[in-house]
């Protein structure tokens, strides 16, 4: 918590949510002793769980209010999704790797985390049937901003997405009207890649 505050996270709902979610349960047991360090760790299928600070940073950029409808791309371990659920958001989340989808489905049941929808699919498509969203959060590194996702935002909605191939720049895009989008960039982060298709 103090570390998060020192690093500039101010939103009390984000800080409380990060504090509430038992992060160690989202890691493979061999990484247990590292669960509360500010590090990324493997979660299987060559993917990693995001750093707690990264999860807090992205959650804060969403500026979501309780009840808001949020789409997450890249469910992975389910940790970021659990933080959003603790913030009382309605979460729709998509994972492209079946192995992780199955593992995390079981974990959500066990921990009683209930996203509105947990979809095995390709996040590049978003969820057109559930759109528009108050916020979209992408937790894998995107080579560029997918236009399709921008068009699934409400007016006033926010897309939080790390953009770049090697390292990524955290990017916020706010939909100001049906046709205008305003982009702001933040610091550099490192994510696993946003890949097309599902496997
Ligand atoms: N939010 C996760 C981060 C996991 S790493 C957590 O808290 O643990 C990023 C995840 O994005 C990986 O699980 C990867 O499989 C997934 N991913 C990559 N491209 C995707 C796509 N097109 N659609 C959905 N998920 C994708």
Helix (H, G, I), strand (E, B), or coil: what is residue 58? Answer: helix
How much distance in Å is there from the Cα of 179 to the middle of ligand 1?
28
At residue 132, the pLDDT reads 98
Q: Which two tokens stand for residue 123?
A: 């996040």
Cβ partners under 8 Å of residue 57, min gap 6: 9, 170, 186, 189
Asked if residues 165 and 192 have their Cβ atoms less than 8 Å apart, the reply is no
Which is more confidently placed, 10 or 34? 10
d(CA 14, CA 34): 21
Mutate to test the pocket of ligand 1, among 40, 96, 152 (most ligand atoms within 8 A of CB): 96
Residue 6 has pLDDT above 90, yes or no: no
At residue 28, the pLDDT reads 66
At residue 38, the pLDDT reads 57
Whether 125 lines ligand 1, by a CB cut-off of 6 Å, is no
Whether 76 lines ligand 1, by a CB cut-off of 6 Å, is yes
Q: What is the mean pLDDT of the chain?
A: 91
d(CA 55, CA 63): 13
Q: Tens digits of per-residue pLDDT, 48-107?
A: 777 889 999 999 999 999 999 999 999 999 999 999 999 999 999 999 999 899 999 999
Long-range contacts of 40-45 (CB under 8 A, 24+ apart): 40/190, 43/76, 43/77, 43/100, 44/99, 44/100, 44/103, 45/97, 45/99, 45/100
Determine whether 50 is an active site residue: yes
Beta bridge partner(s), residue 70: 91, 135
Whether 140 lines ligand 1, by a CB cut-off of 6 Å, is yes
Q: pLDDT band for 30, please (50, 70, 90 cuts).
A: very low
How much distance in Å is there from the Cα of 10 to the middle of ligand 1?
26
Mutate to test the pocket of ligand 1, among 86, 99, 140, 199 (most ligand atoms within 8 A of CB): 140
Does the pTM exceed 0.85? yes
Residue 42 has pLDDT above 60, yes or no: yes
How much distance in Å is there from the Cα of 95 to the middle of ligand 1?
6
Residue 112 has pLDDT above 90, yes or no: yes
């Amino acid at each position: 918590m103090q570390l998060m505050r020192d690093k500039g996270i101010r939103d009390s709902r984000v800080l409380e949510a990060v504090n509430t979610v038992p992060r160690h349960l989202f890691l493979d047991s061999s990484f247990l002793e590292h669960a509360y360090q500010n590090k990324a760790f493997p979660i299987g299928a060559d993917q990693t769980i995001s750093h707690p600070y990264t999860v807090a940073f992205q959650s804060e950029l969403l500026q979501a209010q309780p009840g808001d409808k949020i789409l997450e791309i890249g469910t992975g371990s389910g940790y970021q999704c659990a933080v959003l659920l603790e913030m009382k958001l309605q979460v729709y989340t998509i994972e492209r790797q079946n192995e992780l989808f199955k593992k995390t489905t079981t974990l959500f049941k066990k921990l009683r985390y209930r996203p509105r929808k947990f979809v095995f699919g390709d996040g590049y498509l978003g969820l057109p049937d559930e759109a528009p969203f108050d916020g979209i959060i992408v937790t894998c590194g995107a080579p560029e901003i997918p236009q399709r996702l921008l068009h699934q935002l409400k007016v006033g909605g926010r897309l939080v997405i790390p953009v770049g191939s090697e390292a990524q720049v955290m990017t916020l895009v706010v939909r100001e009207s049906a046709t205008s989008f305003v982009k702001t960039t933040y610091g550099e982060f490192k994510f696993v890649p946003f890949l097309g298709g599902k496997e």
